[in-house]
Amino acid sequence: MKDTWPLLDKIAFPAIARGALQTLQVNVGYRCNQSCVHCHVNAGPNRTEEMDGATADVVLAFLERRRVATLDITGGAPELNPNFRRLVVAARDMGVKVMDRHNLTIQEQPGQADLAEFLAANQVEIVASMPCYLQDNVDKQRGKGVYDGSIRALQRLNALGYGREDSPLTLNLVYNPLGPSLPPPQGELEADYKRILGERFGISFNNLFTLANMPIQRFGAILLSQGQFDAYLDKLLRAHRDENLDGVMCRSLLSVDYRGYVYDCDFNQMLDLPLTWGTRERVHLSDLFDSDISGNPIRVAGHCFGCTAGQGSSCGGALKEAAE
Ligand code: SF4
Ligand code: SF4
């Protein structure tokens, strides 16, 4: 797979620094039941990297010690990690809000029949990828049959109370473009999703987050092989807005890999750009139990324009609307 980092490294991005830590985003492994074309993790069924029990214990100890408000669990498909449910239950017992980056079709994989009930019982906020309300586009990006499986999963979640106006169970969907274009306005697209999924399937959800595709890993390699890398980067750079710099997720989030090493965000994790801290080459979560990293410089390069182009992208969707 062609690597875009040598090109991204040459592109300057404005200097930014970390703020107060609000969210610990933990990547528990790169295994996934899907192999989506835009995946910035390059996740798939054959990946073997996985967080072990001892590292999961470090995550829980850090949450307790630093009183972090939110645990955001991602992957791959995070539910495939044997420690997933233990992490959820222990974090909820501490009063920590838990988010699951959920691909919907995982609910129909072996051993996951009670997953939706488990998530509901623990009031886990679900952030589910649903790159279009049309079958063709979803199956093209995420694989044949993914659309139907996703619809069944959303209906299962709705039946448990997720995404209903009068319910505390939050179900947010994530949209990303099929190719090298910027996402359309979040509010308008959310209204279309709600209307079409509601009319056709009786599905409801809380918010739609629109995210730009990052020019790294699998999507980056496709851009390179199709000769579209320069044009996509140019599009991101031209659409950059300085006012988006305040809201980028790396200001308040710390990303942890399956071994416990830390990064400013999940994208930097995938580019293997560890958090800069003193003279250390690599920083482990256990090194930070007593350290405040606010004010620390964030490692930035050309890929960061994926977060600041147009309406901006963070793990909570478009920056302007996410902040409202
Ligand atoms: S985008 Fe999500 S669902 Fe698709 S392969 Fe990557 S981790 Fe799996
Ligand atoms: S990719 Fe986005 S979240 Fe990550 S360091 Fe760059 S601006 Fe921050």
Report residue 64's pLDDT band, with 50, 70 and 90 as the boundaries.
very high
Helix (H, G, I), strand (E, B) or coil at 28: coil
Report residue 134's pLDDT band, with 50, 70 and 90 as the boundaries.
confident
- What mean pLDDT is predicted for residues 56-60? 98
Question: Are 175 and 211 in contact, with CB atoms under 8 Å apart?
Answer: yes
Which strands sit side by side in the sheet containing 253-256, from one edge to the other? 207-210, 171-175, 125-129, 97-102, 70-74, 23-27, 253-256, 262-263
Decide: 103 in ligand 1 pocket, CB within 6 A: yes
Question: Are 124 and 100 in contact, with CB atoms under 8 Å apart?
Answer: yes
- Residue bearing the CA closest to ligand 2, atom 7: 304
- Residue bearing the CA closest to ligand 2, atom 6: 304
The ligand 1 atom nearest the CA atom of 42 = 6
Better-predicted residue by pLDDT, 37 or 93: 93
- What mean pLDDT is predicted for residues 115-122? 98
Q: Residue 318: pLDDT above 80?
A: no
Buried b or exposed e, range 255-270, using 16+ CB within 10 angstroms: bbbbebbbbbbbbbbb
Q: What is the pLDDT of residue 165?
A: 86
CA of 240 to the centre of ligand 1 (A): 26
- What mean pLDDT is predicted for residues 117-124? 98
Q: Residue 292: pLDDT above 70?
A: yes
Residue pLDDT, tens place only, 156-199: 999 999 999 889 999 999 998 888 999 988 899 999 999 999 99
CA of 155 to the centre of ligand 1 (A): 20
For residue 111, how many other CB atoms are within 10 A of its CB? 9
Which residues line the pocket of ligand 2, CB cutoff 6 A? 248-250, 264-265, 267-268, 298, 300, 303-304, 307
Report residue 278's pLDDT band, with 50, 70 and 90 as the boundaries.
confident
Among positive and negative, which fits the CA dihedral 255, 260, 263, 267? negative
pTM for this one? 0.93
CA of 190 to the centre of ligand 1 (A): 21
Report residue 121's pLDDT band, with 50, 70 and 90 as the boundaries.
very high
Report residue 323's pLDDT band, with 50, 70 and 90 as the boundaries.
very low
Q: What is the pLDDT of residue 313?
A: 61
Report residue 295's pLDDT band, with 50, 70 and 90 as the boundaries.
very high
Residue pLDDT, tens place only, 201-260: 999 999 999 989 999 988 899 999 999 999 999 999 999 999 999 999 999 999 999 999
Q: What is the pLDDT of residue 45?
A: 95
Q: What is the pLDDT of residue 322?
A: 45
Q: What is the pLDDT of residue 40?
A: 82
From the CA of 250, the nearest ligand is 2
Report residue 316's pLDDT band, with 50, 70 and 90 as the boundaries.
low
From the CA of 251, the nearest ligand is 2
The ligand 1 atom nearest the CA atom of 35 = 5
Mean pLDDT of the chain: 92
Looking at the chain, how many residues does it have? 324
Q: CA 120 to CA 311: how far, in whole Å? A: 32
From the CA of 106, the nearest ligand is 1
Q: Residue 49: pLDDT above 70?
A: yes
- What mean pLDDT is predicted for residues 3-9? 95
List the beta bridge partners of residue 149.
none
- Residue bearing the CA closest to ligand 2, atom 1: 304
Of 1, 38, 39, which is best to mutate to test ligand 1, by the most ligand atoms within 8 angstroms of its C-beta?
A: 39
Q: Residue 58: pLDDT above 50?
A: yes
Q: What is the pLDDT of residue 291?
A: 93
Half-sphere exposure of residue 102: CA atoms within 13 angstroms, side-chain side:
28
